[in-house]
């Protein structure tokens, strides 16, 4: 019966779409609730500075660097809703949604990109994000559903292992954003 269950699971997983597909071996590095440094894999991508940006962009980046300094010793730092609002207003800070894609579709922070930690393509998305040339010391906001939700911390750990030193976890998550009446988009696009 166990063998039959394994076969059925393999077939079902093979035909599953990207939102239902799971890798057989999970890679859930984050210790929930922990704030200690996560070891980066040897030979992983090395952090590279971003391509040159506009003067205004550089000024904004330096302002952000003062407020949110990189923290290479730990995967994430938690920030409040007010911090997220100020970073969102800047417009040049990537915001990543760690919730399920189906939930993202129902409503997400305007401009946020879907990076569901529980879907099998998350590692590919992190790699692709790295190759986009983002400055690894600049803030990246990650969020999920707030409260007990640890998905954003897990995504922050993945980003840290990929070389990003400034992942900022929106502590109260999307429910807080909604409560504040801030811009929300629905659908597949940011």
Partner 1 sequence: MNRRILSPWVTVRVQFVLAAFFVVAGIAKIADPPGFAHEVHNYQIVPGALVNVMALVLPWLEVITGVCLFLGIAVRTSARILGILLAVFIAALSINLARKHPVECGCFGTAKVQKTDAQRLTDMKWAIARDVGLLLLVAQILAASRADVRRP
Chain residues in the site for partner 1 (CB under 8 A): 1-2, 4-6, 8-10, 12-13, 16, 19-29, 32, 100, 116, 118-120, 145, 147-148, 150-151, 175
The number of beta carbons lying within 10 Å of the beta carbon of residue 180 is 12
Instruction: Compute the distance between CA of residue 11 and CA of residue 31 in angstroms, rounded to an integer.
Output: 31
Minimal distance in Å, beta carbon 125 to partner 1? 14
Residue placing its CB nearer to partner 1 in the complex, 97 or 150: 150
Minimal distance in Å, beta carbon 182 to partner 1? 19
Minimal distance in Å, beta carbon 153 to partner 1? 12
Residue placing its CB nearer to partner 1 in the complex, 94 or 173: 173
Relative to beta strand 108-109, strand 184-185 is: antiparallel
Minimal distance in Å, beta carbon 84 to partner 1? 20
Phi and psi at residue 142, in whole multiples of 5°? -125, 145
Q: Which residues lie closer than 8 Å to 180 by C-beta, 6 or more apart?
A: 81, 85
The number of beta carbons lying within 10 Å of the beta carbon of residue 99 is 25
How many helices and strands in the chain, by DSSP H and E? 7, 7
Residue placing its CB nearer to partner 1 in the complex, 87 or 155: 155
Q: In what order do the strands lie in the sheet with 77-79?
A: 77-79, 167-170, 140-143, 95-97, 113-114
Minimal distance in Å, beta carbon 27 to partner 1? 7
């Amino acid at each position: 019966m166990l063998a039959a269950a394994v076969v059925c699971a393999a077939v079902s997983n093979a035909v599953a779409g990207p939102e239902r597909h799971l890798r057989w071996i999970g890679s859930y590095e984050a210790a929930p609730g922990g704030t200690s440094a996560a070891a980066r894999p040897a030979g992983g991508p090395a952090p590279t500075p971003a391509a040159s940006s506009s003067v205004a962009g550089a000024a904004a980046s330096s302002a952000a660097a003062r407020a949110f300094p990189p923290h290479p010793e730990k995967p994430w730092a938690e920030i409040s809703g007010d911090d997220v609002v100020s970073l969102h207003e800047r417009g040049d800070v990537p915001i990543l949604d760690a919730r399920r894609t189906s939930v993202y579709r129902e409503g997400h922070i305007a401009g946020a990109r879907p990076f569901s930690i529980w879907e099998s393509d998350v590692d590919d998305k992190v790699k692709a994000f790295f190759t986009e040339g983002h400055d690894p010391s600049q803030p990246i906001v990650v969020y999920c559903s707030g409260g007990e939700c640890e998905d954003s911390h897990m995504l922050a750990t993945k980003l840290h292992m990929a070389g990003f030193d400034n992942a900022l976890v929106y502590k109260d998550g999307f429910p807080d954003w909604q409560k504040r009446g801030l811009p929300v988009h629905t659908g597949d696009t940011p």
